[in-house]
Structure 1
Amino acid sequence: MSFAALERLGIPLNSVFINGAWTASDSTETIEVHNPKNESVVATVCKGSPGDAERAVAAARAAFPAWAAQSAIARAGLLQRFAALIDEHGDTLAELLVSEQGKPLAEAKIEVGFTSLLLRHAAESARWIEGEILPGDAPREQVWIQRVPFGVVAAMTAWNFPAALFARKVGPALVAGNTIVLKPHEFTPLSSLYLAELGARAGLPKGVLNVVLGAGREVGAHLVTHAHTDLVSLTGSVRAGGEIYAAAAPQLKPLRLELGGKAPFIVMDDADIDAAVTAAMASKFFAGGSVCTSNDRMYIHERVYDTFMEKFLSAVGALRVGDPMTDVQIGPRISKGEVEKLERIAATAAEQGATPLLKHEGPAGLDARGNWFLPTIFSVPSNDLRIMKDETFGPMVAALKISDFDEALKYANESDYGLSAYVFTQSNARIMRCIGELNFGEIYINRPGGESVHGFHTGYKNSGLGGEDGRHGIEGFMRKKTMYNRFG
């Protein structure tokens, strides 16, 4: 299916997208893209090379002056056309996502909808690009502060939401007047190739959007250190973010790093338990838990612990697991490596004293060739276990009984991460305390996760630098220029 979908749009799998055209890669090596359901090969693409990145940066740099000179409204019109094409090809793109990433088809369709929404929101943001006029110190003088594009953006995306993350980088970068070179994760290149072709059909000028393939430590590193990339935007692991931080340091290059998370899920004794269980399920098992904002550790008040856990475990046991092209809620993991990582975390948790409460049995006849790790729930005796510290990025979570809100806040903040947190309480005093005392960039109160395109998705500590979405996310793709205008 994957090859056929790309072939129908005239996309050659041995190519990269540079300067508005499909171009043969400098590399003669190839990468197989595997279906996580059964490890079958769905497509073979070029491996990509630093030479490809070099040509892509040159094309983006050459295209930048004319693109930046266009009005923001004109750039927005092309993004609106791009979004409309995504909607038109939505079913095919969703099936492509399932085949390369393994998420259930229903979730893939949600991602496709969010992809076009991100581009539309970026287009609407064209009218938010504002300057400032301040009085000068001298007579007949004004101080003008303008927001201008950086130039060439180097962007790298993760495998968990390959289409949505493409739009999350491309939309704001382009509407702000930058050009972009994007490298998708090597596990999930197909949706980015498909989107590149749709961008060209939408009318994006040559060189404005370029897509290259390859490994992060080769092609990605070349983009980060290239003298002619002006801003680097990554969604990925803390390890990758740290390596990019170090590589960009000699040039003092601006970075936007959206990295990992270890979200606490706090349920107090006055919470709506049914709503909390529903949110815990959605926030843990959407995309199989491979979400940086996923509910990754639960702190449940002792007065409601038994009631909450009984309902939660019942809901987990009822999850539908299987072929992601069917009506299921849990599909396979992206790779064998991810399965092995989760197995190590589970084994370490048991060794450190965690009690297994549930291991989903899965359906009969589950294909053993696939990358399967079934939903797993633990209870833990303390907050010191590794499972309460290390990001799982999968369908596994542990619960700890707490006695009061102070304890919940203390345990929640005992983390190297600071992206998202969840709090269920009816107390306005507790909710207000979260502002000053819960050290996370994004807090969900009495609701499941899922950020809005007009919000601001930002993390503290090891969860990253900068942020995305909304007015503040767009501003991350612009820098300020101050002019002192004496007019007499």
Structure 2
Amino acid sequence: MAQKYDLFINGEWVSPQTGEWIAVENPATKETVGQAARGGEADLDKAVAAAKAAFPAWSRKTATERADYVHALKDLVKRDKTVLAQIITSEMGKPLKEAEVEVDFAIGLLRFSAENTLRLQGEIIPGSTPDEKILIDRVPLGVIGAITAWNFPLALCARKIGPAIAAGNTIVVKPHELTPLASLHLAKLVEEAGIPKGVVNIVTGDGPEVGVPLVAHPDVKLITMTGSTPAGKKIMAAAAETLKEVRLELGGKAPFLVMEDADLEKAAEAAVQSRFMNTGQVCTCNERTYIHEAVYDDFVQKVRQKIDALKVGLPTDPSTDMGPKVSEDELTKVHEIVQKAVRQGATLETGGKRLTGGVYDKGYFYAPTLLTDVSQDMDIVHNEVFGPVMSLIKVADFDQALAWANDCRYGLSAYLFTKDLSRILRMTRELEFGEVYVNRPGGEAPQGFHHGYKESGLGGEDGQHGLEAYVQTKTIYLNA
């Protein structure tokens, strides 16, 4: 029988007041791999109350003391890397080798938070009189509410828990109901690390029953959420009722620009990697590939060969390059997008179908798909696919590539392959995206700053800028 997980509230494992649990399904086999408690508003209220009660003592601890706790949590995640990777693979369908990379990223995020807690520095400004100094202090906000997406179930929790508690806050986390198990194992490690009760709380359940009351709760001072743009807009509107801060990491539609002077082999390898990793279920994925007309045909040939070489299979198989989609609904959505693109004039080079037979019969497997003859006015160029579909678009020059890349309501990530420094410098001024990968595949670093423009969200995460999002300034006019 699949393991049944309670809620983690105030350092204890408690049954949900609903008396119900949610079955967690393996998307590769459709087997139930665990049951997570179906929390409700009463459970959420209890978790927020615990976090609020724990805040005064936790915020008074020195930065070094808090850092030591985060270091201890990081070390336990490192110890349990194999177990955590297996959990991620079982609940999300991510190939095991990619799940291990996710655990490493979570470790890096926790390490950065711990190492940089002492760098949350204030300022001293000359006062208005000879004996006055103006101090700008940085202090924690209080209770943080965190809502995570299903595509990186461990890393997204670490991305929010690490900086939040390192900065002196307490936190209530609502993991996605499709993939809550990795976060619940992380809660066990929070307990083992000796982090005081109430500092970290995990309340599983669905959006209306847990997420909505978390956003609306008057004792929650900041909401940090990773998810879809429509959900982010609803959260922002709801948070306005209590004027709480929001930091939203939402959808993406990353353009991948390949100019005629690019290293085509390197660009093709990066384009495929950045499109098909995690079955395309990454907000920074290459969603639309713009290729200079002088190298278009050669580039199509190269990516076609690389896509055909991808092995789709059980995510536990070490040789698997791509696993299943996370759910039936997600698979259906992607297939409908591909069919519409073909109806609008795109050419289906390969893929474009659900895989069946053998190991594919029990899961949500979709074939790696390549579309050519895609034009800028097609829906697939403007709507997030979030699946294993590469769309190739021919451009006449760099001007057209920039213009079409910016013709988008999203602004999270972008890619540029060129050897021309003048183009790179121009891109820094004109490309309307929060992070750009130049001559490399995707994958942000813990010490960077992951943030988007336009409908890709507000604020950002990671690095020193992300850490500083979890404190607020206090101005003190100091006189003897």
TM over 0.5: yes
2:324 to 313, 326, 332: 332
1:181 to 172, 175, 178: 172
- The separation in 2 between residues aligned to 1:339 and 1:155, in whole angstroms, is 27
Query: Where does residue 191 of structure 1 map in the other structure?
Result: 182
Change (3 A) 1:330 1:381: closer
2:203 to 199, 207, 212: 212
2:336 to 339, 344, 360: 344
1:421 aligns with 2:409: no
Q: CA deviation at 1:363?
A: 8.7
* Counterpart code for 1:329: D
* Counterpart code for 1:337: D
Change (3 A) 1:342 1:381: closer
1:407 aligns with 2:400: yes
Query: Where does residue 445 of structure 1 map in the other structure?
Result: 438
* Counterpart code for 1:411: W
Query: Where does residue 8 of structure 1 map in the other structure?
Result: none
* Counterpart code for 1:348: K
- The separation in 1 between residues aligned to 2:46 and 2:412, in whole angstroms, is 35
Change (3 A) 1:381 1:60: closer
Write the deviation string for residues 121-173 of structure 1: whole angstroms up to 9, x where unpaired.
10011121100000012121111001110000000100000000010000000
Please state whether the residue corresponding to 1:367 is helix, strand or coil.
helix
Q: CA deviation at 1:252?
A: 1.4
2:306 to 315, 323, 326: 315
Please state whether the residue corresponding to 1:148 is helix, strand or coil.
strand
- The separation in 2 between residues aligned to 1:368 and 1:358, in whole angstroms, is 20
* Counterpart code for 2:54: A
Please state whether the residue corresponding to 2:240 is helix, strand or coil.
helix
Query: Where does residue 425 of structure 2 map in the other structure?
Result: 432
Unaligned runs of 5+ in 2: none
* Counterpart code for 1:119: L
* Counterpart code for 2:301: E
Please state whether the residue corresponding to 1:81 is helix, strand or coil.
helix
Query: Where does residue 350 of structure 2 map in the other structure?
Result: 358
Write the deviation string for residues 181-206 of structure 1: whole angstroms up to 9, x where unpaired.
00000000111110001011011000
1:134 to 115, 125, 130: 125
Aligned partners of 2:2 and 2:35 also within 8 Å: no
- The separation in 2 between residues aligned to 1:44 and 1:438, in whole angstroms, is 44
2:20 to 19, 22, 29: 29
- The separation in 2 between residues aligned to 1:2 and 1:420, in whole angstroms, is 38
1:461 to 449, 454, 463: 454
Query: Where does residue 29 of structure 2 map in the other structure?
Result: 38
- The separation in 2 between residues aligned to 1:387 and 1:2, in whole angstroms, is 39
1:166 aligns with 2:151: no
Aligned partners of 1:316 and 1:360 also within 8 Å: no
Aligned partners of 2:54 and 2:198 also within 8 Å: yes
1:243 aligns with 2:234: yes
1:398 aligns with 2:391: yes
Aligned residues: 478
- The separation in 2 between residues aligned to 1:413 and 1:26, in whole angstroms, is 48
Change (3 A) 1:278 1:14: closer
* Counterpart code for 1:261: G
Deviates most, 365-374 or 305-314: 365-374
1:484 aligns with 2:480: no
Aligned partners of 1:322 and 1:363 also within 8 Å: no
Please state whether the residue corresponding to 1:467 is helix, strand or coil.
coil
1:119 aligns with 2:104: no
Write the deviation string for residues 423-476 of structure 1: whole angstroms up to 9, x where unpaired.
000111100011111000000110101111111000001100000000100011
- The separation in 2 between residues aligned to 1:14 and 1:187, in whole angstroms, is 14
Q: CA deviation at 1:29?
A: 2.0
How many percent identity over aligned positions?
Answer: 49
Q: CA deviation at 1:364?
A: 5.8
- Within a 5 Å distance, the mapping from 1:148-163 to structure 2 comes to 148-163=139-154
Query: Where does residue 277 of structure 2 map in the other structure?
Result: 286
Q: CA deviation at 1:374?
A: 1.3
Aligned partners of 1:232 and 1:256 also within 8 Å: yes
Q: CA deviation at 1:217?
A: 2.1
* Counterpart code for 2:158: A
Query: Where does residue 385 of structure 1 map in the other structure?
Result: 378
* Counterpart code for 1:354: A
Aligned partners of 1:317 and 1:360 also within 8 Å: no
- The separation in 2 between residues aligned to 1:213 and 1:50, in whole angstroms, is 11
* Counterpart code for 1:334: V
Query: Where does residue 52 of structure 1 map in the other structure?
Result: 43
Change (3 A) 1:60 1:104: same
Aligned partners of 1:33 and 1:188 also within 8 Å: yes
Change (3 A) 1:14 1:269: closer
Unaligned runs of 5+ in 1: 4-12
- The separation in 2 between residues aligned to 1:59 and 1:465, in whole angstroms, is 28
Q: CA deviation at 1:45?
A: 2.2
Write the deviation string for residues 41-90 of structure 1: whole angstroms up to 9, x where unpaired.
11122211111100000000000000000011110101111111111111
Write the deviation string for residues 195-254 of structure 1: whole angstroms up to 9, x where unpaired.
001011011000000000111122101010101000000000011101101111121110
1:274 aligns with 2:265: yes
- The separation in 2 between residues aligned to 1:286 and 1:44, in whole angstroms, is 27
Change (3 A) 1:193 1:87: same
Aligned partners of 2:36 and 2:205 also within 8 Å: no
1:229 aligns with 2:220: yes
Aligned partners of 2:287 and 2:391 also within 8 Å: yes
Write the deviation string for residues 4-28 of structure 1: whole angstroms up to 9, x where unpaired.
xxxxxxxxx2510000010111111
